[in-house]
């Protein structure tokens, strides 16, 4: 299976920012306020793909 065909299971903060078009400050605000779930692997912060999608789906429809 090549890299493009494989669905991403988790994002590092920078990858999440790039994929969802938000800045680091906003990401950490969302984490602090409990709207975005994270996992820690040592010092690395990971956002599971399903948590990223849940966060996106919970945003208001303006």
User: Mind listing the pLDDT tens digit for each residue in 12-45?
Assistant: 999 999 999 999 999 999 999 999 999 999 999 9
Return the half-sphere exposure (C-beta side, CA atoms, 13 A cut-off) of residue 19. Answer: 17
Q: What is the pLDDT of residue 45?
A: 97
List phi, psi (to 5°) of 22.
-125, 160
Q: What is the pLDDT of residue 7?
A: 81
Q: What is the pLDDT of residue 48?
A: 98
CA 23 to chain centre: 11
Domains of the chain by range and CATH?
A: 10-58 (1.10.10)
* Chain position carrying tokens 């890299």: 3
List phi, psi (to 5°) of 29.
-65, -45
- Please tell me the distance from the alpha carbon of residue 32 to that of residue 8, in angstroms, as a whole number: 24
User: What mean pLDDT do residues 38-54 have?
Assistant: 97
Q: What is the pLDDT of residue 4?
A: 53
Instruction: Provide the whole-model pTM.
Output: 0.85
């Amino acid at each position: 299976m090549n890299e493009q065909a494989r669905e991403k299971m988790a994002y590092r903060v920078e990858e999440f920012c790039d994929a969802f078009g938000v800045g680091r400050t906003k990401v950490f605000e969302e984490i602090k306020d409990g709207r975005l779930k994270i996992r820690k692997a040592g010092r690395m912060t990971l956002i599971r793909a399903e948590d990223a999608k849940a966060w996106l789906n919970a945003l208001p429809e303006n």
